[in-house]
């Protein structure tokens, strides 16, 4: 069968592939601890779910404008204003079916054949593939392990060519849990501006910050003069435990937002209306939203402390990145390779087969010596999973 060049390099999301296999094994009756997925294990807060149910009953079930219900876009703009301390134009907000669609809009609208896009690495598995769908070329830029892989201006500068058009940054980072400081972000933003590059900032984990109450620093914490052309993406999936609702947004210059809107109008029309009604409650009932975020972050921080403590106790020789945000532990397994197991993909397969723990090999994030474990699970599950990982680590 012949397919178009658009999808020549397309492959399914690596993280979804692992969690699908783990679910299949569990359905066959195997005792599987699935720590491969990137989603909070909490239910959507009740006040948000109730608003959605009321919305359905009130007949809010029709098409909306492609960029989203104006009240929701305005509520998101107000939410951004409280962060930035300056007015945000709600015409720059486009509501999408998750951050994934917001990123697709950005990459597809801004980059194309012949363009290179720098991707801070290790990276969330989808960025390079989405960039390739736009037929541009992703260029990985790895930070140093000693700095939790956070990239510096020098490292970025070394990767620039005359074809470079953009940079994708993600803080707090999936898979490492690293968080850029305000100063680090400021330096990178000013550099991107000086180079005339689009800065795509994925801040979806911004609220899941272990040094809370303050969320992790983001682009809008910077002075306006630090920012060149940028697209900020964020959404409800992680902050409000709403992964299945598919609700994300982008914020950028209104002229670009109009292009995203046109693109969506031809592809998906609006994000599901009921999800927007739920999102309107999430982004406008700030008191209830902040309380639920606080509760969730408290649990994630306790679990972060639990898994890092157990790793230190049970596997002192296994290096990991100290997570400061999100809900992942990124640890290094090349010291555990044997004659048969020579990469993290093989190591994760053996762990799943022999010990029933599903994790994601670093091949999905650009370095197959590392493994990502999600700690969005109950404390007992995490404790048992780390015990099994230690059993695997100490028998090799």
Do residues 93 and 66 make contact, with C-beta atoms less than 8 angstroms apart? no
Q: In what order do the strands lie in the sheet with 137-142?
A: 93-96, 248-251, 230-235, 198-202, 164-170, 116-121, 137-142
Closest by CA to 393, choosing from 326, 321, 323, 310, is 310
Of 55, 235, 279, 323, the one binding ligand PLP by CB under 6 A: 235
Closest-by-Cβ residue to ligand PLP is 98
Question: What's the full length of the chain, in residues?
Answer: 396
Q: Are 133 and 14 in contact (CB under 8 A)?
A: no
Return the number of the residue (98 or 356) whose C-beta is nearest ligand PLP: 98
Binder among 204, 232, 252, 297 for ligand PLP (CB under 6 A): 204
- Which of 34, 38, 300, 324 is close enough to bind ligand PLP by CB under 6 A? 38
Q: How far is the CB of 100 from ligand PLP (least distance, A)?
A: 4
The residue (of 75 and 204) whose beta carbon lies closer to ligand PLP is 204
Whose Cβ is closer to ligand PLP: residue 184's or residue 234's?
Answer: 234
> Of the two residues 66 and 98, which places its CB atom closer to ligand PLP in the complex?
98
Q: Tell the smallest beta-carbon distance from residue 244 to ligand PLP (Å).
A: 9
Residue 198's nearest CA partner among 134, 270, 266 is 134
Residues 6 or more apart whose CB falls under 8 angstroms from that of 377 comprise 33, 35, 41, 303, 385
In the complex with ligand PLP, the residue whose CB is nearer, 55 or 235, is: 235
Name the one range near ligand PLP by CB under 6 A: 52-60, 140-148, 235-243, 298-306.
235-243
**By the rule CB under 6 A, 171 interacts with ligand PLP:** no
- 43-102: contacts with ligand PLP (CB under 6 A): 98-100
Which one of residues 34, 36, 105, 174 is an interface residue with ligand PLP (CB under 6 A)? 174
Interface residue with ligand PLP, options 115, 202, 324, 367 (CB under 6 A):
202
Contact 370, 332 (CB under 8 A): yes
Q: Is 124 in the site for ligand PLP (CB under 6 A)?
A: yes
Q: What tokens appear for 203 in the block? A: 């801040």
Shortest Å, Cβ 178 to ligand PLP = 12
Asked if 176 contacts 149 with a C-beta cutoff of 8 angstroms, the reply is: yes
Residue 243 found at the interface with ligand PLP (CB under 6 A): yes
- 201 token code pair: 């900032």
How many residues touch ligand PLP under the rule CB under 6 A: the total is 13
DSSP state of 148: T
Separation of alpha carbons 83 and 279, rounded Å: 18
Q: How far is the CB of 278 from ligand PLP (least distance, A)?
A: 14
Cβ distance to ligand PLP smaller for residue 125 or 273: 125
When the beta carbons of 132 and 355 are compared against ligand PLP, the nearer one is 132
The Cα–Cα gap between 240 and 293 comes to 7
Member of 40, 215, 248, 325 binding ligand PLP (CB under 6 A): 248
- Closest approach of ligand PLP to the CB of residue 258, in Å: 22
Hey, is 36 helix, strand or coil?
coil
Residue (96 or 261) nearer to ligand PLP, CB: 96
**8 A C-beta contact, residue 210 and residue 63:** no
Report the residue number, 308 or 374, with the smaller CB distance to ligand PLP: 374
Is residue 65 within 8 A of residue 270, CB to CB? The reply is yes
Give every CB contact of residue 138 below 8 A, 6+ residues apart in sequence: 116, 117, 119, 127, 128, 131, 132
Q: Is 83:217 a contact under the CB 8 Å cutoff?
A: no
Shortest Cβ 174–ligand PLP spacing (Å): 4
Q: Interaction with ligand PLP in 275-294: which residues (CB under 6 A)?
A: none
The tokens describing 52, both together, are: 């959605």
Q: Which CB atom, from 10 or from 395, has the smaller least distance to ligand PLP? A: 10
CA 267 to chain CA centroid, Å, is 23
Binding residues for ligand PLP, rule: CB under 6 A, are 38, 98-100, 124, 170, 174, 202, 204, 235, 237, 243, 248
């Amino acid at each position: 069968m012949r397919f178009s060049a658009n999808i020549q390099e397309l492959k399914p999301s690596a993280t979804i592939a692992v969690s699908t296999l783990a679910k299949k094994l569990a359905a066959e009756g195997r005792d599987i601890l699935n720590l491969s997925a990137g989603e909070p294990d909490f239910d959507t807060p009740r006040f948000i779910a109730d608003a959605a149910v009321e919305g359905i009953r009130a007949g809010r079930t029709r098409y909306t404008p492609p960029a989203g219900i104006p009240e929701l876009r305005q509520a998101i703009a107000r939410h951004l204003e409280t962060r930035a301390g300056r007015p945000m134009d709600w015409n720059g907000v486009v509501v999408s079916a998750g951050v994934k669609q917001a990123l697709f809009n950005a990459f597809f609208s801004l980059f194309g054949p012949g363009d290179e896009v720098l991707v801070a690495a290790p990276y969330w598995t989808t960025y390079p593939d989405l960039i390739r769908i736009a037929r541009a070329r992703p260029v990985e830029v790895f930070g140093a392990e000693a700095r939790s892989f956070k990239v510096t201006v020098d490292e970025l500068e070394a990767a620039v060519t005359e074809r470079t058009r953009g940079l994708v940054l993600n803080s707090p980072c999936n898979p490492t849990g690293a968080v850029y400081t305000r100063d680090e972000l400021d330096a990178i933003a000013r550099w991107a501006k000086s180079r005339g590059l689009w800065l795509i900032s994925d801040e979806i984990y911004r609220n899941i910050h272990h040094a809370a109450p303050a969320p992790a620093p983001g682009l809008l914490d910077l002075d306006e003069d630090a920012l060149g052309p940028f697209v900020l993406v964020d959404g409800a999936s992680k902050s409000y435990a709403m992964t299945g609702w598919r609700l994300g947004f982008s914020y950028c210059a209104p002229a670009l937002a109009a292009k995203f809107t046109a693109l969506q109008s031809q592809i998906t029309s609006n994000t599901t209306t009921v999800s927007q009604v739920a999102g309107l409650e999430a982004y406008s009932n700030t008191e209830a939203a902040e309380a639920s975020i606080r509760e969730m972050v408290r649990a994630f921080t306790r679990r972060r402390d639990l898994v890092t403590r157990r790793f230190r106790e049970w596997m002192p020789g296994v290096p990991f990145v100290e997570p400061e945000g999100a809900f992942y532990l990124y640890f290094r397994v090349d010291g555990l390779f044997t004659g048969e197991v020579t990469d993290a993909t093989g190591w994760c397969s053996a762990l799943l087969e022999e010990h029933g723990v599903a994790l994601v090999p670093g091949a999905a994030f650009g370095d197959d010596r590392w493994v990502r474990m999600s700690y969005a699970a109950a404390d007992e599950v995490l404790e048992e999973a780390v015990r099994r990982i230690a059993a695997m680590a100490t028998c090799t």
